[in-house]
């Protein structure tokens, strides 16, 4: 039986210069879920874009053959590209908010995607039903910005399946979603594949998702496929060193908690009855939380749970509406109520931000960033020592932060935080924007620094595997409240609350949930 999609020696690049994607070959059978996994710059998204005729203008296909259902894919003209995307191929992009037209309603998007026949509104509602959106017409008349991330992604999936394509290309379709929403969207793709027999090309950086959802996979690095085969075979017996590094770097395979660190009953940072509201909306209910000396505690929850608000209150970046934060300095405890108190707090508590690009003055070099963090008194040897502490080359001192990689910038953020030798480091989603191997390096760095310095660590994350790998204790938050707290082992092995159970069940890589359909079987 011939494959549905055949990619042979695909090479992509600029008119002059080396190829960015180099002689890539793979095939996808009818009804199969085929995954391509790789890190930033691997060429996985460019490969998907070439199949759909969506390459950037400055790039082109230098050589190779693309066949869909035995016929060459013609994307050389706008007409050929439109016909392909209209009749044979559906594309699901990473960010629905930048893909859906903000001036069009949900109904407008679906009407454009549907064939021109019958009752458009009834057909549009049927499409929404097919992607798990309940039957109420109000949603048809709203605009994309009025939808949650999960709903907007379902609308995009609805537009992609409107003309019953034979192949769906899903390019990082859940990267920006919370873990439970991510699981529901991936379940939806599984369900659509099971019901319709459509094949899926799933592009992702998360090998845990590949393990859960795909039948076969290809591992890409630097524009080449290093290995491919059935998922179980590649994961159990990887032939490439790079694949082994990807697997080792997955948070589920990391164990970075340091039980040999001496912790004590001494509370170094405490929130008592703190709450926060914006207008009439309460984002954090009155909350008590204490950080002990040497403790590593993770705060987990989905978007809007209140975890970042709590972290910002603890660090003095936001003042609570009610309650108070206390910091222990020597044998004394100090309440944080004014600017002088906050200055004292910041000597002992430092914050590592999620978005490294927006946390540095673009005019300042690495050296000047760290000199300021040292109070303007830092000498060359002090700056060099800080850079070496976070495993950065001191030769980077003259560079601007914008010229560094994402991982290097995050190391610089940590170095800046360490300049004051804090007792508590609060890290807010410190690895969420990083590739998996870089993520593992940063997590190992945080574990080492905690062990060497005896400092406490508060880790904010929506990624439960990251928290499990690094933290001794866990707090679970939802809708502005802490609903469960305990040791990491207790929370992950025997969660008490249904919400916590749902979070843990949604962790990628925890299951294999491929539909039981034959690749060659036609599903009606």
Length of the chain: 524
With 80 as the cut, is the pLDDT of residue 378 above it?
no
Count Cβ atoms below 10 Å from residue 154 Cβ, excluding itself.
Answer: 22
Measured distance CA(470)–CA(454) in Å, rounded: 14
Taking the C-alpha atoms of residue 489 and residue 163, their distance in angstroms, rounded to an integer, is 48
pLDDT digits (tens, 9 = 90+) for 416-442: 999 999 999 999 999 887 888 998 999
Model confidence at 514, pLDDT cuts 50, 70, 90, reads very low
pLDDT at residue 121 above 90?
no
Asked if the model's pLDDT at residue 518 lies above 50, the reply is: no
Q: What is the pLDDT of residue 512?
A: 44
441, 443, 449, 454 alpha-carbon torsion, rounded to 10°: -160
Q: How many helices (H) and strands (E) does the chain have?
A: 19, 20
Which pLDDT tens digit goes with each residue over 297-318?
999 998 889 999 999 999 999 9
Q: Which has more confidence, 356 or 163?
A: 163
Widest pairwise Cα distance in the chain: 77
Residue 112: phi, psi to the nearest 5? -65, -35
Whether the per-residue pLDDT at 1 is higher than 80: the answer is: no
Residue 269 has pLDDT above 50, yes or no: yes
Give residue 198's pLDDT band: very low, low, confident or very high (50, 70, 90). Answer: very high
What one-character-per-residue DSSP string does 123-176 give?
A: HHHHHHHHTT--S-GGGGGS-GGGS-HHHHHHHHHHHHHTT--SEEEEESTTTT
Name beta bridge partners: 90: 168
pLDDT number for residue 78 = 75
| Proportion of the chain in helix, strand, coil states, percent, rounded to 5 | 40, 25, 35
Chosen CATH of 267-506 out of 3.40.190.10, 3.40.1350.10, 3.40.50.300, 3.40.50.720: 3.40.50.300
> Mean pLDDT score of the chain, rounded to an integer?
89
Secondary structure element (H or E) that encloses residue 440, with its range: helix 436-453
pLDDT at 272: 96
CATH 3.40.50.300-classified regions of the chain: 5-249, 267-506
Q: Say yes or no to pLDDT of 53 above 60.
A: yes
Question: pLDDT value at position 257?
Answer: 60
More confident residue, 490 or 85: 490
Q: For 5-249, which CATH class?
A: alpha beta
User: Rounded to whole angstroms, how far apart are CA atoms 424 and 418?
Assistant: 10
**Dihedral class, residue 294 (left if φ above 0, else alpha if ψ from -120 to 50, else beta):** left
For 348, the enclosing helix (H) or strand (E) is: helix 339-348
End-to-end CA distance of the chain: 19
**Dihedral sign, Cα of residue 312, residue 315, residue 317, residue 320:** positive
pTM: 0.85
- pLDDT tier at 511 (50, 70, 90 boundaries)? low
How many Å apart are CA 208 and CA 202, to the nearest integer?
12
Contacts of 432 (CB under 8 A, 6+ apart): 354, 461, 462, 463
Give me the pLDDT at residue 522, please: 29
Give residue 253's pLDDT. Answer: 83
pLDDT band at 406 (very low <50, low <70, confident <90, very high): confident
CB 36 within 8 A of CB 51: no
- Inform me whether the pLDDT recorded for 523 exceeds 60: no
């Amino acid at each position: 039986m011939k494959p549905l999609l055949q990619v042979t020696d695909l090479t992509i690049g600029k008119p002059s210069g080396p190829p960015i994607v180099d002689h890539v070959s793979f095939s996808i059978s009818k009804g199969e879920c085929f995954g391509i996994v790789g890190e930033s710059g691997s060429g996985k998204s460019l490969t998907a874009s070439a199949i759909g005729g969506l390459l950037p203008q400055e790039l082109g296909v230098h050589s190779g053959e693309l066949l869909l259902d035995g016929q060459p894919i013609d994307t050389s003209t706008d007409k050929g590209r439109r016909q392909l995307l209209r009749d044979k191929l559906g594309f699901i992009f990473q960010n629905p908010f930048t893909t859906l037209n903000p001036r069009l309603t949900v109904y407008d998007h679906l009407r454009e995607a549907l064939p021109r026949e019958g009752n458009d509104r009834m057909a549009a509602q049927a499409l929404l039903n097919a992607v798990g959106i309940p039957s109420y017409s109000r949603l048809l008349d709203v605009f994309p910005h009025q939808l949650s991330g999960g709903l907007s992604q379902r609308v995009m999936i609805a537009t992609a399946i409107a003309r019953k394509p034979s192949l769906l290309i899903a390019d990082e379709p859940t990267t920006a979603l919370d873990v439970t929403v991510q699981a529901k969207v991936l379940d939806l793709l599984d369900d659509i594949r099971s019901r319709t027999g459509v094949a899926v090309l799933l592009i992702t950086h998360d090998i845990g998702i590949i393990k859960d959802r795909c039948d076969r996979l290809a591992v890409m690095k630097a524009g080449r496929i290093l290995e491919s085969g059935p998922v179980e075979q590649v994961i159990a017996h990887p032939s490439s060193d790079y694949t082994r590094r990807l697997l080792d770097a997955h948070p589920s395979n990391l164990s970075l908690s340091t039980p040999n660190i001496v912790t004590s009953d001494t509370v170094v940072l405490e929130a008592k009855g703190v709450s926060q509201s914006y207008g009439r909306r309460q984002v954090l209910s009155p909350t008590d939380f204490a950080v002990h000396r040497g403790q590593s505690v993770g705060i987990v929850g989905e978007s809007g749970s209140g975890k970042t608000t709590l972290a910002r209150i603890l660090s003095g970046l936001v003042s609570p509406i009610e309650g108070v934060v206390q910091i222990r300095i020597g044998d004394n405890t100090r309440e944080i109520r004014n600017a002088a108190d906050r200055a004292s707090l910041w000597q002992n508590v430092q914050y590592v931000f999620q978005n490294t690009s927006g946390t540095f003055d673009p005019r300042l070099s690495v050296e000047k960033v760290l000199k300021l963090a040292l109070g303007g008194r830092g000498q060359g040897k002090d700056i060099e020592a800080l850079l070496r502490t976070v495993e950065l080359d001191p030769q980077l001192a003259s560079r601007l932060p914008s010229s560094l990689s994402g991982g290097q910038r995050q190391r610089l953020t940590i170095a800046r935080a360490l300049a004051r030798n804090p007792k508590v480091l609060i890290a807010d989603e410190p690895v969420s924007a990083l590739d998996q191997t870089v993520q593992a390096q940063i997590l190992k760095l945080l574990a080492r620094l905690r062990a060497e310095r005896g400092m406490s660590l508060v880790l904010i994350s929506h990624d439960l595997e990251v928290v499990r790998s690094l933290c001794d204790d866990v707090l679970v938050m939802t809708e502005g409240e802490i609903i469960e707290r305990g040791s990491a082992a207790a929370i992950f092995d025997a969660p008490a609350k249904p919400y916590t159970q749902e979070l843990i069940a949604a962790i990628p890589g925890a299951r294999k949930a491929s539909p039981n359909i034959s690749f060659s079987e036609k599903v009606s």
